[in-house]
Structure formats: C-alpha cells, structure tokens
C-alpha cells in the first residue's frame, strides 16, 4: 500500500505553504529545513511589494497554523541526504546537524551575555556579527538559540556554565532520521545570483556596490544599521543611487532567464530610500520593467516620483573613484552608439535568483538546465514548488506551493481513491 | 465538565528573581480559591512538564501556566484536546519589560494572574459544529482552461466535481485559440491547443459531471452544505456541493474603445481576430504586420493595470505569421516586453526570427492608412527618432483583458436600508464591500450575490502571502477572473484553488475553521431570545456569513464562519458568544484588574491587542527586553473586530484611567486578516468617545493605534506617550464608585 505521507524540503514561504496546505487537508507532512529556523528568504525581507507590509506578519499566521497542527513534523538544521524508491514509496535519509542547543532552551539569552566569540551574521549577509551562540533573528521560529561551533574559542565552555537549564551540549552529534513518504516536494528556494561572477560590476572590490538582498537588510529596523540605508565605505547616507537591473539575469553569460522579481524588488527599494531621504536621486538602468498585472500600479507610483529616472540600457562597467568611494556606471546608448556615464554614491545590483536545489536524484526527478526542479509531482512523486520550480515572486510562490500540495496529494492517493 | 483547576508558576528565565512569587500564589489561592498551586524553576523542562501531567492524571483538567507567552513552548504545554490550557505570559509581558523586584512590577504580575485565572474559570472546551452528511463535491463554475484544470485536478485527487459552463461546449477563451504559448521546456516552441484533450479527459472521468449551456441560478447555504441550482436545458438541476471554484475568466478589452489606435480601420484587428485568421488559414496572405502592445492596458484612461498575458500572446502570434509565411515581416511596438521568467527564452527565440521590436510610448503611436495598406508611426525611444513602418497588411492590437466579474450592476442598498443607514449616519460604518451583479454565482447571501470586488473588479485576495484568502468562505476564484495572468500561472492558480476547495470540504467535515484560524473548532452561538434585530452582526460580518429572515433575525451559516468574532464585537445586546471567547469572559478579565485608590497615584491602562500582529509585537518587545510603563495591562483579542464597547465602558466605570487599542493597519493596504476588524474597532471607539464625553470623561482616555508586527520597537514609545497623556488628564474620577 502506498505511503500517504508527504515530505517537503525547505521551510521558506513555499515549503511552509505546501506543508500547511497538505496538512490542513488531512495528510501527514514532514518538513525539513537546513537553517536553524523556518521562514527562509522572506524572513530576511523588510517589506513585500506592492503593499509594503512586513513578511513576519504572514509568517506569524503560518507559524500559528503550524503550532496548532498535529499532522506536521518539522526538522531544523536538517538536510535530506538520500532518497530512494518511487512514487508512493520513498525512503528518505535526513541528516540533522547539531544545533548544540537542546530543545530545553528557553531563549533566556544568558549564554549570549557570556560568549566571547563572534561570527559573521549570515542572516544579515555578513553586514555585521553575532556571538558564536546566537538567536538567528529576533522573530526566529522556533525561538531557540544555536551555536556556530566553528566560531567557538578552543575549549571554551562559558555558555554551558551560564545555562541554568542544561540546554547546551557542545558535543552534540549529527543525527540521522529515516522517513518513509509517498511524495516529495522540493521547496528549497533560491540564492541570490553570485554578484562576484559579474566581475565588471566590481562587487566585492568596490565597497559601495551592494546587492538588492543586502539593501533589504539595511532597510530593516532591526537590521545591522537600525534601518539606515548607508554606504558600506563610510556609513554615510547616499544622495545618488543607481539600480542596475538584470545583474546576471537575461544574460547568456550568466543566467539566461528573467528572474521575474527584480524589477519590482528595485521599485520597492526605491520606496525605502525615498521615504527616508527626500533629496535622494535615483537612476534605474533597465532593459524592460516587468510589472505584471496590478503591480503596474506600484510601478506607476514610483515612476511618478520625479527624483527617479529610468534609463533603458544595460550597464557595461562600473568603476570606483578610490578617493570618494563614488562609482561611475557606463552604459551604451544603443542607438547613438555613444557611451553614457553616470556617477553615483551607491550602486545596487538587482541580482536575480539562482535555484538553491541540491542533490536531486537524477533518476527520480527532472531538473532543467538552470537547476530548477520541473518534474510533475503527481506523475513522478517528486517535483518542485516556488522558486525551486521556477523564478517567481512571493504571491506566485504561494500559489505554486498550494498547487504543489494538490499534486503531492494526487501522488499519494494514486491519482484517485 | 466540572472544572478542576491548577496553577503553575515558573520561576525560571528570571521570573523568580523579578517577581514576588509567594504574593502571586496568594492571589491564586485566596482570591480564586485554587488549591493546586505549584512552583517550578524550569516548568517547560521534562520535570516541570511531568509535574503537570501527574496532576492531570489525578484529575486536573484546567491548567493555568504562569510562565512564558503561548507563542513559545506551545508543544510541551499541549496536553491534548480534553485539557484546557491558559497561558499567563508573565515572562514577555511583565518580568522582561519591567524593573525586577519593583512593587509595581509585582502588581502588574498579580493582575495578569487575575486576568488569566478569571478567564480559565469561565472558558469551556469548544465542541466542533458538525453538519450532517457534508458534501465533499467541488463545484467549478466556468469551463475554460482554469475551470477545466480545477475540475480535473480535484477529480484526480479523488473528489467528485460538478463543472458548469455557459457555452455549449467546454473550452472558454483557450478553446478558441489556434495554439497556446510554450508550456514546457525549453519554452521556445508553441504548445498545441490542449483544450480538446482536456475536454476528453473530463468526459472520460467518472467523477466529473459536466453541465454545458448552463449557468448558476442560485447558490444557497455554505461550505459542505451549498445547494447549487443550475439553469440548464430549460430546467433547473440541483446539486449539493461542498466548496466552489470560480473560474469564469476574462474578456478581451472592448476594441471599440481603441479607435485612437486605429481600430475600425480595415485590417486593424485584435488578438482574438488573429486567432480566428490562424485557424482559418487566412494568415498566409499576410506579409507585413505590426503589433501594438498595451492597447488599452497600462493606460489610466482605459485599463490602468497590465494585462500580463499580451506580450507572450503577441510573441506567439508573431510565430504564427512566420509559420504560415516564412517571409512575413513582424514589427512589435511596445513599452516593455514582459516575457517574465522562462518566457525570456521564448522572447529570444522570437527575436531570432527577425521580428523587429520598437520601444515607444503607447498611446502615442498612430495607425495611418497607406495607399490601401496601413502604417504605424511613433517615436522609437532607443533610436531617439520618429519612425514610420508602412506597407502593412495587418495591424494587431494587443487589447488586454478585463475580468468577467467586473461586468454587471453594482448592488445598492434597498430604500428602507438606505434610509436606516442615513439615520445612523454618525455611526458611519465601514464602507460596504463592492458587489457587482455579474450573474456568475448568484449567491443567496444577505450581503449580495457575488464575491466582493476588489480593485478593478477582480475578486482577488488582498494578501501577498495568502492569495486564496477569500472573502467568501469556501469559494475560491482562480485564473483570469481573479487577476490578469499568463497561461501557466492560470493552470497553477486553478490547481491551487482546487486544493483550497478540497481542504475546505475536509475542514467542514471535521467541524474546523479554514484559514486564517484553520483548525479552530469554536464557533459563535446566538442567544436569540435577546436579539433586537438591529442587523449589526449581518452588516459587519466581513465574510457574509450571516443571513437574515424576513423579521431581520440573524441566520448564521456556521460553515461560512471564520471565527473572528466580529459579530460578537458588533452586538449591542451581547448575545453572541464562543465557548472559549465571549463578552463576559473578556469583560471579566478586565474587571479582575485591581484598580488602586486615587491617592496611590497608580493609574491603570488597559490595552486590547490583536493577537495576530500586536501581540507578537508585544512579545518581541519582551524578548528584546524593552522597558515600558508598569501601568498597562494587555488583553489579547482574536481580532479587534471582536471588540465590544461594553468592555471599554465597564473599564472606565471601574476606574481604569485609559484604554488603548492596538490593531492592524487599515485602509487601502489593510493588514487585517479578517479584512476590516481593526477599522471597525476604530469606528466603534469613536462612538464610545462621544459617550465618554457625555459622562464627563475625556475622550482622549481612549486611543487607537495601527501597529504592524514589526513595530515592536515603537510600542514602548506609544505606551509612554499615552501614559503621559493620562498623567496630564489626571485620575479617572470614576475611581472608587
């Protein structure tokens, strides 16, 4: 008899949605997330476009659904190691990496006070540091601390001594969990395209060239700058900002597809900047502004701002003035055949989405050239949802993840009961 | 059930140091006469939990946990469905936001214990509302691509489906096209029109019953018990269904309104006309053709939104032209080519066929007659010069789409109701939902026959994170009736809507609410003896869940209910209650607060906070160890829409110095998951202010703030500002009466 449980890999907005939607129909669901918290990439966003509302609001509702639903079992710090079998009958090996903090953690925070070591804060894309023992972010669900053992000082046990609840185990080992499921949904989301690969834009070399996801963290009130959008080189608020659209997208040398979200993300970022600085002048270098449907209203709103200038053209190269940290963008005016130059204080690269799918068993599922999981879950029992399936924005991801839940249900009921 | 109460105080996480636990124990023992009162230094640890479990085995069935917020340790303190658990959040709401050991801190903690225990005393375990033989059949209205997809996907999951299509055959708009845009990798080749195959699959599927040439005469009832009457073949068929997918599609934007782009001239046609020509082989003669994108779309004079599908449709038709005539020359006048995601591959492929793309302003291009042929003139933005493309055989207008839900008269209040509304003018209620009589569902709902229309008439969800958060429970719009979208998106949308419909019928069968309170089995009960037929509950229910009889008595349709409690807040007679949430219960919490005498100079401020956003924000303030005034006491509400004014007037008459409401943002970009709860609360508050004025109490003693979940760093300041205001006003003169 077919196994009716569903495995969802990835606990971001898509994975949470697929898991909750299937569980609320009545199916048993396992949710496996590699981070020490659920919420994924959207937990790092300041606002959603076009409503400019905080993602934590929707996540909170989803966590509430999760807390109240006995049919979902979730694992954090966990990765799927191996999958074998077939639709209706998969064997899955899940590796649960040590958190070094036991479930008894009450999140009292005493450990952080005594921890002497620091690590780069990956949640803030390395824009600041946390202690080696840390809460991944203020809204982390589950609200449990985690330890980055690589960052610990040799032999240090200060946190262990400080914890009144005996909740820290520095010798915690990897655990292996075996699951039997009938369908598997990859909802592993996306990575920002590695901007260092677009060498002529100077990311990593020019301090004041940042990416769109970094800007998101700068804008958040609880982010590394307390919500101030400033230049990394001198901490000053930029007066002129350029957005470089399609940085690595729609480009045969990088990612040939359109990442779908970057236009609206940049429009949203412009609202962050303009809200804080009435004098800021913004240049957007673009190929096409792709604001589908009602998103057009949002584009119209931003385009009506006279401090925002849209320039059609693909930026060729960005150079830095080492004295000021300012940047000059060179863009070819396609018709006149001449090069236009624009100097600004800060450049934001609208880097696109690369799927963050790993270890999809080739004999069981279909992955396209870009790395997206495209097989039909109902047919093969394995497929993708959200940005592991194709590039898309949050609303479309939720829609796709809901559809994936039905496909997974079909897979486990064998196409009709 | 006979309650056997026990109270557990956790002294961990600094609670033991910050609070005078023996004083709190005394509150439980002497004020509430509870004998089972225990302390533990680590209540959520295995030993603490075992302590509670042991008492439960000995007969305790109502457990009050004075420790942390219910947002944490929810799993360890879950003792199954037969045990009532009340959490008293001393950690986040008191110990972590106040000076440890302070007298005022402890008074605050005592009040939280009082509020929690008074609630635990009266709350009851809810029992689900179960309907007899609920239907699990899914009704799909509309037999186009989205409707056919929803029907087939639901059937494949094992559910019976009734599919209703108004035309004589299935297919809708997609049934009339020559080919579809690419649907599979590598996204460069057109897809054969799969509608005949889908129609065959539906015909062959024994679970799907199809009515063609049929429309909905009426739909009464609610999820699980919808009674759908289908006008069909001169008669009426009846079907009992559990949930509904609305997939009635869109229509092309009326080209008669596009004369400014040359419509009316010979050989100026629309996308739909090109499909006809392709099917009839009439594209063979076409050698030179120009497409004009955004014909009506992205234009404030016509359709301000982007129709989403037209760029890809034009690319598709450009391929048709090459297919019928390899020498055909195609020009595309556009503002932006919106071939998103993998359609970028398709765009590239069409560029490689030699099609010429001209970026221009639309409107702004002109369609001219050119010696028996046509010409299109406009400014080429990239070249920076005017261009004219002449000698054209055909000009195609990419004329966009409008949802079918936008067509029809708007529902207006009947005369009597309009008069009554005018009479109640000062009570200016929340703007009524716009309902357009599009003749698609014909719901027998007191609030109107169709789904409420949002911007541009789309019956869309307002939420990014919850695209299926419908305003009519159990009815899910899908495809281009809901929002403009491309073909693959419509297929996904229909599949997602089918899942939501299935989920709804399963939830109804279990007696549970659907999103956002999914799994909640409590429901409102109406004590009809005391009803005064004021209609407030029927008017204010955001989900249209309450009908009325001819005498204006409310007729709640239980399975349409989303359990927000807006009706409970609206009812002036306080006749609406949930087993675990009621006016006396919350009122009792407020009354349990000990109000010090005026001379003590310890004002008291009551905060009613929405549990979806404001409460988590308050928790975050606690976790961040932010300090705020020890005068405040917070009571969580399901939604501020459930706020009953009697709580405020009672609080004021018992000497509480100020009341603050923390609700979600409202207005155009509202954040309330029950649509208008916070807005209703603010309107209600404005009314109580007038009452206060008449009593000689300053209306500034009540205040409303819109907060988001991320406003936790702002909340201490909001509280301090209000405390300053209350200080300025002085003590409530009702104290001691």
Architecture of the domain defined by B254-399? 3-Layer(bba) Sandwich (3.50)
**Interval B530-546 mean pLDDT:** 95
The answer for residues whose C-beta is within 8 angstroms of residue A234's C-beta and 6 or more apart is A325
pLDDT, residue B433, reads 86
**Interval B182-189 mean pLDDT:** 95
pLDDT, residue B696, reads 82
Question: Is B275 touching A (CB cutoff 8 A)?
Answer: no
Question: Is B183 touching A (CB cutoff 8 A)?
Answer: no
Per-residue pLDDT at A417 exceeds 50: no
User: Which positions in chain B touch A312 (Cβ < 8 Å)?
Assistant: 359, 381-382
Question: Is B708 touching A (CB cutoff 8 A)?
Answer: yes
Question: Is B483 touching A (CB cutoff 8 A)?
Answer: yes
- How many percent of chain A have pLDDT more than 90? 92
Binning pLDDT at 50, 70 and 90, where does residue B642 land? Answer: very high
A109 CB-contact burial (10 Å; exposed 0-12 / middle 13-18 / buried 19+): middle
Residues 640-679 of B with CB under 8 A from A: 665, 669, 671, 673
User: Which positions in chain B touch A136 (Cβ < 8 Å)?
Assistant: none
ipTM exceeding cut-off 0.90 for this assembly: yes
The answer for residues whose C-beta is within 8 angstroms of residue A94's C-beta and 6 or more apart is A32, A75, A78, A79, A80, A81, A176, A177, A178, A179
pLDDT, residue B414, reads 63
**Interval B520-534 mean pLDDT:** 97
pLDDT, residue B436, reads 95
Per-residue pLDDT at B413 exceeds 80: no
Per-residue pLDDT at A188 exceeds 80: yes
DSSP assignment string, A385-409: -GGGTS---HHHHHHHHHHHHHHHH
- Taking only the tens place, the pLDDT of each residue in B12-71 is 999 999 999 999 999 999 999 999 999 999 999 999 999 999 999 999 999 999 999 999
Check if CATH label 3.50.50.60 holds for domain B138-251+404-510: yes
Per-residue pLDDT at B472 exceeds 70: yes
Per-residue pLDDT at A415 exceeds 60: no
CB–CB contact A415 B156 (8 Å): yes
Strands B373-380 and A133-134: unpaired
Per-residue pLDDT at B419 exceeds 70: no
Per-residue pLDDT at A356 exceeds 90: no
Q: How far is B439 from chain A (nearest CA, A)?
A: 24
pLDDT, residue A339, reads 83
User: Which positions in chain A touch B710 (Cβ < 8 Å)?
Assistant: 54, 56-57, 220-222
> Number of Cβ pairs closer than 8 Å across A and B?
241
CA distances from A103 to A71, A165, A166, A283 (A): 20, 10, 10, 49
- Taking only the tens place, the pLDDT of each residue in B569-612 is 999 999 999 999 999 999 999 999 999 999 999 999 999 999 99
Selecting from B157, B499, B616 the residue whose C-beta is nearest the C-beta of A402 gives: B499
Binning pLDDT at 50, 70 and 90, where does residue B427 land? Answer: low
Quickly count: other Cβ atoms within 10 Å of residue B362's Cβ.
21
pLDDT, residue B23, reads 98
**Interval A114-130 mean pLDDT:** 96
User: Which positions in chain B touch A145 (Cβ < 8 Å)?
Assistant: none
Binning pLDDT at 50, 70 and 90, where does residue A45 land? Answer: very high
CB–CB contact B499 A58 (8 Å): no
Question: Which range (B167-171, B308-312, B485-489, B730-734) has the least confidence?
Answer: B730-734
Strands A327-333 and A338-344: antiparallel
* Residue that wins the pLDDT comparison between B384 and A165: A165
Q: How far is A8 from chain B (nearest CA, A)?
A: 16
CB–CB contact B612 A60 (8 Å): yes
Residues 444-473 of B with CB under 8 A from A: 455-456, 458, 460, 462-468
Quickly count: other Cβ atoms within 10 Å of residue B685's Cβ.
22
DSSP SS3 for A274: helix
Selecting from B458, B510, B620 the residue whose C-beta is nearest the C-beta of A138 gives: B620
Enter the tokens of residue B413.
């209040």
Q: How far is A323 from chain B (nearest CA, A)?
A: 35
For chain A, the average pLDDT equals 95
Per-residue pLDDT at B146 exceeds 90: yes
Do A239 and A280 meet the contact criterion of CB atoms below 8 Å apart? yes
Enter the tokens of residue B283.
């594209």
Check if CATH label 3.20.20 holds for domain B581-737: no
CB–CB contact A48 B484 (8 Å): no
Binning pLDDT at 50, 70 and 90, where does residue B145 land? Answer: very high
pLDDT, residue A152, reads 97
Q: Domains plus CATH for chain A? A: 6-97+174-189+356-413 (3.50.50.60), 194-352 (3.50.50.60)
Selecting from B464, B468, B613 the residue whose C-beta is nearest the C-beta of A394 gives: B464
DSSP SS3 for B549: coil
User: Which positions in chain B touch A294 (Cβ < 8 Å)?
Assistant: 305-306, 455-456, 458, 460, 483-484
CB–CB contact B306 A48 (8 Å): no
* Predicted TM-score (pTM) above 0.95: yes
Strands B268-270 and B394-397: parallel
Closest residue in chain B to residue A56, using alpha carbons only: B709
pLDDT, residue A2, reads 75
Shared fold status for B138-251+404-510 and B254-399:
yes
**Interval A122-136 mean pLDDT:** 96
pLDDT, residue B80, reads 95
Per-residue pLDDT at A387 exceeds 50: yes
CB–CB contact A67 B14 (8 Å): no
The angle subtended at Cα B254 by Cα B252 and Cα B257, nearest 5°, is 145
pLDDT, residue B426, reads 47
Question: Is B276 touching A (CB cutoff 8 A)?
Answer: no
- Taking only the tens place, the pLDDT of each residue in B328-343 is 999 999 999 999 999 9
Q: What CATH number does the domain located at B525-570 have?
A: 3.30.70.20
User: Which positions in chain A touch B96 (Cβ < 8 Å)?
Assistant: none
pLDDT, residue A333, reads 66
User: Which positions in chain A touch B305 (Cβ < 8 Å)?
Assistant: 293-294, 296-297
**Interval A227-241 mean pLDDT:** 97
DSSP SS3 for B720: helix
DSSP assignment string, B445-513: -TT-SSPEE-GGG----S-SS-TT--SSTTEEE-GGGTS---HHHHHHHHHHHHHHHHHHHHHHHHT--
**Interval B539-551 mean pLDDT:** 95
Residues 347-406 of A with CB under 8 A from B: 368, 374, 378, 390-392, 394-396, 398-403, 405-406
**Alpha carbons A96 and A98: distance in angstroms, whole number:** 6
Do B406 and B458 meet the contact criterion of CB atoms below 8 Å apart? yes
Per-residue pLDDT at A336 exceeds 70: no
C-alpha dihedral sign at A401, A405, A411, A417: negative
Binning pLDDT at 50, 70 and 90, where does residue B734 land? Answer: confident
pLDDT, residue B422, reads 59
The answer for residues whose C-beta is within 8 angstroms of residue B549's C-beta and 6 or more apart is B555
Q: Give the start-to-end residue ranges of the domains of chain B.
A: 1-125, 138-251+404-510, 254-399, 525-570, 581-737
User: Which positions in chain A touch B502 (Cβ < 8 Å)?
Assistant: 25, 406, 409
CB–CB contact A292 B502 (8 Å): no
pLDDT, residue A416, reads 40
User: Which positions in chain B touch A21 (Cβ < 8 Å)?
Assistant: 499-500, 503
Q: How far is B587 from chain A (nearest CA, A)?
A: 25
For chain B, the average pLDDT equals 95
Check if CATH label 1.10.4030 holds for domain B1-125: no
């Amino acid at each position: 008899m077919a196994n009716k449980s569903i495995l969802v890999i990835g606990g971001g907005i898509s994975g949470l949605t697929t898991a909750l939607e299937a569980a609320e129909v009545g199916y048993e669901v396992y949710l496996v997330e590699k981070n020490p918290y659920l919420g994924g990439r959207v937990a790092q966003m300041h606002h959603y476009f076009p409503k400019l509302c905080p993602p934590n609001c929707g996540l909170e509702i989803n966590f509430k659904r999760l807390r109240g639903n006995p049919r979902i079992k979730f694992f954090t710090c966990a990765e799927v190691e191996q999958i074998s079998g077939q639709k209706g009958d998969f064997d899955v090996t899940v590796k649960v990496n040590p958190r070094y903090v036991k479930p008894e953690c009450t999140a009292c925070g005493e450990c952080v006070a005594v921890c002497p070591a620091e690590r780069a804060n990956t949640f803030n894309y390395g824009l600041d540091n946390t202690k080696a023992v840390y809460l991944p972010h203020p809204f982390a669900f589950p609200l449990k601390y985690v330890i980055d053992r690589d960052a610990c000082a040799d032999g240090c046990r200060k946190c262990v001594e400080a914890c009144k609840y005996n909740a820290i185990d520095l010798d915690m080992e990897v655990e292996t969990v075996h699951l039997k499921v009938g369908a598997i949904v990859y909802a592993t989301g996306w990575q920002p395209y590695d901007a260092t690969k677009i060498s002529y834009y100077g990311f990593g070399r020019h301090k004041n060239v940042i990416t769109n996801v970094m800007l998101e963290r700068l804008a958040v009130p609880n982010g590394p700058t307390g919500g101030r959008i400033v230049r990394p080189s001198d901490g000053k608020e930029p007066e002129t900002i350029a957005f470089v659209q399609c940085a690595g997208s729609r480009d045969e040398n990088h990612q040939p597809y359109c990442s779908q979200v970057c236009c609206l993300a940049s429009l949203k970022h412009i609202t962050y900047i303009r809200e804080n600085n009435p004098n800021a002048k913004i240049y957007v270098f673009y190929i096409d502004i792709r604001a589908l449907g009602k998103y057009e209203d949002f584009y119209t709103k931003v385009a009506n701002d006279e401090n925002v200038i849209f320039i059609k053209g693909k930026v060729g190269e960005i150079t830095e003035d080492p004295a000021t940290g300012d940047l000059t963008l060179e863009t070819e005016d396609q018709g006149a055949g001449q090069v236009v130059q624009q100097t600004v204080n800060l450049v934001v690269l609208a880097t696109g989405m690369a799927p963050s799918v790993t270890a999809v068993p080739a004999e069981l599922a279909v992955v396209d050239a870009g790395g997206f999981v495209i097989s039909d879950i109902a047919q093969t029992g394995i497929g993708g949802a959200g940005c592991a399936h194709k590039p898309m924005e949050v609303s479309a991801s939720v829609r796709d993840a809901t559809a994936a839940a039905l496909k997974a249900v079909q897979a486990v009921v064998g196409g009709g009961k | 059930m006979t309650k056997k109460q026990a109270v557990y105080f956790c002294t961990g996480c600094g609670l033991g140091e910050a609070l005078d636990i023996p004083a709190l124990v005394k509150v439980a023992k002497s004020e509430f006469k509870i004998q089972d009162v225990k302390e533990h230094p680590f209540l959520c640890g295995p030993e603490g939990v075992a302590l509670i479990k042991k008492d439960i085995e000995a007969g305790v069935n109502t457990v009050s946990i004075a420790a942390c917020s219910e947002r944490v340790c929810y799993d360890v303190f879950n003792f199954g469905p037969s045990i009532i658990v009340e959490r008293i959040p001393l950690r986040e709401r008191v110990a972590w936001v106040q000076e440890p050991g302070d007298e005022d801190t402890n008074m605050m903690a005592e009040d939280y214990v009082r509020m929690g225990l008074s609630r635990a005393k009266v709350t009851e375990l809810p029992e689900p509302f179960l309907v007899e033989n609920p239907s699990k059949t899914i009704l799909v209205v509309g037999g186009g691509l989205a409707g056919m997809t929803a029907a087939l996907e639901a059937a494949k999951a094992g559910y019976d489906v009734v599919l209703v299509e108004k035309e004589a055959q299935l297919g809708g708009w997609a049934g009339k096209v020559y080919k579809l845009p690419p649907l599979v990798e590598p996204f460069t080749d057109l897809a054969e029109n799969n509608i005949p195959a889908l129609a065959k699959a539906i015909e062959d599927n024994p679970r799907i019953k199809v009515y063609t040439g049929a429309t909905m005469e009426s739909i009464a009832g609610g999820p699980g018990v919808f009674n759908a009457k289908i006008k069909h073949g001169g008669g009426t068929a009846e079907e009992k269904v559990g949930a509904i997918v609305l997939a009635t599609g869109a229509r092309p934007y009326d080209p008669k309104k596009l004369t400014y782009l040359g419509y009316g001239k010979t050989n100026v046609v629309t996308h739909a006309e090109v499909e006809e020509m392709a099917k009839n082989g009439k594209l063979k003669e076409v050698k030179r053709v120009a497409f004009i994108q955004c014909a009506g779309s992205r234009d404030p004079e016509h359709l301000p939104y982007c129709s989403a599908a037209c760029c890809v449709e034009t690319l598709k038709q450009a391929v048709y032209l090459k297919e019928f005539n390899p020498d055909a020359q195609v020009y595309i006048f556009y503002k932006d080519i919106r071939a998103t995601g993998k359609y970028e591959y398709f765009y590239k492929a069409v560029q490689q066929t030699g099609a010429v793309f001209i970026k221009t302003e639309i409107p702004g291009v002109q369609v001219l007659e050119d010696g028996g042929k046509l010409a299109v003139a406009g400014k080429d933005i990239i070249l920076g010069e005017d261009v004219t493309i002449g000698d054209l055989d055909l000009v195609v207008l990419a004329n966009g789409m409008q949802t079918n839900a936008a067509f029809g008269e708007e529902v207006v209040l009947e005369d009597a109701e309009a008069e009554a509304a005018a009479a109640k003018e000062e009570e200016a209620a929340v703007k009524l939902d716009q309902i357009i009589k599009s003749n698609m569902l014909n719901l027998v709902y007191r609030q109107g026959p169709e789904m409420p229309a949002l911007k541009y008439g789309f019956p869309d969800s307002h939420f990014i994170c919850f695209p299926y958060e419908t305003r009519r429970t159990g009815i899910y719009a899908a495809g281009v009736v809901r929002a403009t979208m491309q073909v693959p998106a419509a297929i996904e949308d229909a599949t997602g809507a089918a899942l939501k419909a299935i989920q709804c019928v399963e939830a109804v069968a279990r007696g549970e609410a659907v999103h956002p309170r999914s799994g909640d089995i409590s429901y409102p009960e109406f004590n009809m003896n005391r009803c005064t037929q004021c209609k407030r509950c029927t008017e204010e229910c955001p989900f249209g869940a309450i009908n009325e009889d001819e005498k204006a008595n409310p007729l709640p349709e239980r399975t349409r209910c989303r359990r927000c409690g807006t009706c409970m807040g609206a009812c002036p007679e306080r006749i609406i209650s949930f087993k675990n949430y009621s006016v006396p219960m919350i009122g009792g919490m407020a009354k349990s607060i000990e109000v010090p005498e005026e001379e003590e100079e310890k004002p008291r401020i009551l905060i009613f906070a929405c549990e979806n956003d404001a409460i988590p924000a308050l928790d975050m303030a606690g976790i961040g160890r932010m300090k705020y005034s020890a005068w405040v006491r917070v009571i969580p509400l399901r939604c501020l829409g459930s706020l009953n004014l009697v709580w405020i007037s009672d609080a004021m008459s018992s000497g509480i110095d100020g009341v603050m409401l923390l609700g979600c943002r409202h207005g155009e970009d509202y954040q309330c998951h029950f649509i208008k709860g916070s807005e209703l609360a603010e309107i209600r508050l404005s009314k109580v202010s007038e009452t206060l004025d008449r009593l000689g109490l300053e209306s500034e003693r009540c205040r409303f703030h819109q907060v988001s979940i991320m406003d936790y760093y702002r909340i201490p300041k909001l509280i301090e500002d209000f405390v300053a205001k209350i200080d300025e006003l002085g003590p409530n003169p009702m104290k001691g009466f």
